[in-house]
Amino acid sequence: MRHIKLYEDFHEQSEYYTTSAPMDIDQFKETEVEERGNYTKGQVNKWVKTYGVTKDSSLLWVSTKPHIAARYQMDAGDWDNCEKIYNADKDKYDVRTVPANDGIVIPGSDDGDDGYVMILSKEAADKWEH
């Protein structure tokens, strides 16, 4: 299981970056808990309770840096040089900017690689569907 870190500076972040698509809580649990073992059911259930996550909630993987988001579209061997690779050809990667006010980032969701789970607001989630 990944080492989970807590951060208190999310309110200072004006935007995040992603190359992911929104998912519901069942998709998240299936992938991150059952398949990958990155989180426990207890951790995710605590988020559900603390942040009011429902079956209708949309979750999105985000990062504080665009090159970290782009890294998920790179070969694993390129991860150590992802910033240089991303900056050399930004148009190659489908990095989307996500305003911080589009949702709530779960601080305890840090995946150890500067990836976090954002719970999108209903309005922000609706924008993704159009």
How far apart, in whole angstroms, are the C-alpha atoms of residue 124 and residue 127?
Answer: 5
The pTM of this model reads 0.85
Residues of the chain with pLDDT under 50: 1-11, 130
pLDDT for res 4: 38
pLDDT for res 63: 95
